Amino acid sequence: MIFTFAHLEKSVEVMSKNIRKQDFLTYFKRFSLMASTETSVTIGVVSSFHQDNLSKKFYDEIKWAIVSIVPSIEVIDFVVDDTIEMRALNEVIDCRDTQKTTEKKTKNEAINGVEIVEGVNSRLVSERYQLDNFIVGPNTQLAHAACDAVARRPGSSYNPLYIYGNVGLGKTHLLQGVANTIRSKQKDLRVVYTTADKFLTDYVSSIKGRSVDKLRERYRQIDVLVLDDVQFLAWKKQTQEELYNIFNILYEAGKQIVLSGDRPPRELTELEARLQSRFEWGITVDVSEPDYETRLAIIGEKARAREFLLPQNVAEFIAENVTTNVREIEWILNQIIAEYDLRGTPPTIENVAMRLSKLSIRSLTPSMTTSKTIRSTHCSYEDLIQAVSGHFGIEIRALLSEDRKKENMIPRQVAMYLLKNKLHYTYERIGNIFSGRNHTAVMYSVKKLEEVMKKNQQVVYELNVIRDKLGI
């Protein structure tokens, strides 16, 4: 019997079930059938990296799978197929798709999210956010312990629980972890995870439908309310009023409330004082930037979650250089994995450093590619200018111009302030971006905005919204 492409498909399916998942997803990518006889088969792979690893590490497992389909096969060879990326779909086997197909049913059944109470605009909770896989460091120990206590005994302790911290430090992971844990251990409880934006949508819809009373009644059904990013209710007076009413209903009924924000309740001055005070009734805990050891552990855990084998020296390099928040760590890992998936390029310190340098505000010299001082932010000044322009609804040309129209002054000052204080541009460089202004003029604009921020909380809110969008 001549070994055919259909036989290869069946063999890959057998391999996907018998080879450790992490190894399969790392070393098996795309296969093509280059040649075959009754006793031999030549398999095309995407790179020499895959050729070496498959022939040295997995030859016995692969041969066993192939022989289980065609017993006459005695010899298996692997060669690099330069055309594999251009071949038709019916000529190439995507090994990872085979793995996903095998697991699809189980995975779909596992993604349940939280119960959606009728009429409440709830968001599904991601299965990957669990309290058990949250990497606990010195700066998150208390927050994680509080979440764990709430998840074990909702409504009994730490009610409400309020978690605060900058963007990308794990607040959403903790909140969704609480929702997932409660739903898995106490299936009879009605848990709703939502955001301030979604809550606002609920309320606006109820006003339009003249059904505010019905909205409150629906929220009465909830046993656990998990509300993310409460700072986005700033200046929404009517919505705050409704949240105040719902908070009281749930609290008095002994229902658990978990909240998050970017600042402690008392610093949310754009919220009503009585709402701030209620957020402080239970326990308030913060999350801050992870230290080196925690970052290294996070990198390892997230790489394992993606079934990707990351060399230890590369993991340490990332931990030393990507220091701002967890989202940036996830971002660079995604880039590394995509590079491997698309080109078969294994991660090294050199190519990771090169990628970081391209994203950095400060360019790196070749001698700096192994330095431990690389900036990790991937927000460029173009991204920032576009975000400010879009947020305030003015043209980029007007934002960068020298005009002194009142409607352009605050947005321009906001952009200069963020470039200076978040992206760490020099005054001279900022001036060059804004129609060649001198450094004195830029310095004055930044100082002016700082003065305005002390008196005008609306400006502070607008600035924080832009920061959240950019992740800075």
User: What CATH number is associated with residue 53?
Assistant: 3.30.300.180
Same domain, 282 and 297: no
Same domain, 239 and 153: yes
135 within domain boundaries = no
Same domain, 200 and 254: yes
The rounded distance, in Å, linking the Cα atoms of 53 and 27 is 7
Average per-residue pLDDT in the chain? 82
Same domain, 62 and 25: yes
Same domain, 145 and 273: yes
**Overall pTM > 0.85:** no
Measured CA to CA in angstroms, residue 381 lies from 27, 64, 167, 190, 205 at distances of 38, 55, 19, 44, 37
Bridge-partner residues for 283, per DSSP?
161
179-193 tens-digit pLDDT: 999 988 888 888 999
Q: If pLDDT is split at 50, 70 and 90, which confidence band does 378 have?
A: low
Q: If pLDDT is split at 50, 70 and 90, which confidence band does 258 have?
A: very high
127 within domain boundaries = no
In this predicted structure, what is the pLDDT of residue 365?
35
- Comparing 96 with 416, the larger pLDDT belongs to 416
Name residue, tokens 């629906």: 218
124 within domain boundaries = no
Q: What is the token pair recorded at 342?
A: 């698309």
In this predicted structure, what is the pLDDT of residue 368?
39
Q: What is the token pair recorded at 142?
A: 């208390």
Same domain, 192 and 69: no
Residue ending a domain, among 239, 261, 286, is 286
Mean pLDDT for the stretch of residues 134-151: 90
Mean pLDDT for the stretch of residues 255-279: 92
Same domain, 200 and 236: yes
Q: What is the token pair recorded at 140?
A: 């998150």
Q: If pLDDT is split at 50, 70 and 90, which confidence band does 230 have?
A: very high
- Indicate which CATH number applies to the domain containing 178: 3.40.50.300
The rounded distance, in Å, linking the Cα atoms of 419 and 361 is 10
Give residues with Cβ within 8 angstroms of 96, minimum separation 6.
25, 28, 29
Residue 17 pLDDT more than 90?
no
Mean pLDDT for the stretch of residues 200-205: 85
In this predicted structure, what is the pLDDT of residue 101?
66
Same domain, 204 and 277: yes
Backbone φ and ψ of 283, nearest 5°: -130, 140
Residue 469 pLDDT more than 60?
yes
Q: If pLDDT is split at 50, 70 and 90, which confidence band does 22 have?
A: low
450 within domain boundaries = yes
In this predicted structure, what is the pLDDT of residue 348?
86
Query: How many structural domains is the chain composed of?
Result: 4
297 within domain boundaries = yes
290-315 tens-digit pLDDT: 888 888 888 988 888 777 888 888 88
In this predicted structure, what is the pLDDT of residue 424?
82
15 within domain boundaries = yes
225 within domain boundaries = yes
Residue 369 pLDDT more than 50?
no
The rounded distance, in Å, linking the Cα atoms of 36 and 38 is 7
- Comparing 123 with 332, the larger pLDDT belongs to 332
Same domain, 175 and 274: yes
Domain around 355: 292-368
In this predicted structure, what is the pLDDT of residue 362?
35
- Comparing 111 with 444, the larger pLDDT belongs to 444
Residue ending a domain, among 319, 341, 368, is 368
Same domain, 146 and 277: yes
Mean pLDDT for the stretch of residues 75-104: 80
**Residue 78 CB: number of other CB atoms within 10 A?**
23
Same domain, 155 and 255: yes
Question: Which of 56, 50, 112 lies closest to 84, judged by CA?
Answer: 50
268 within domain boundaries = yes
For residues 7 and 67, the answer to whether their CB atoms sit within 8 Å is no
In this predicted structure, what is the pLDDT of residue 103?
57
In this predicted structure, what is the pLDDT of residue 113?
35
Same domain, 270 and 157: yes
- Indicate which CATH number applies to the domain containing 326: 1.10.8
- Indicate which CATH number applies to the domain containing 459: 1.10.1750.10
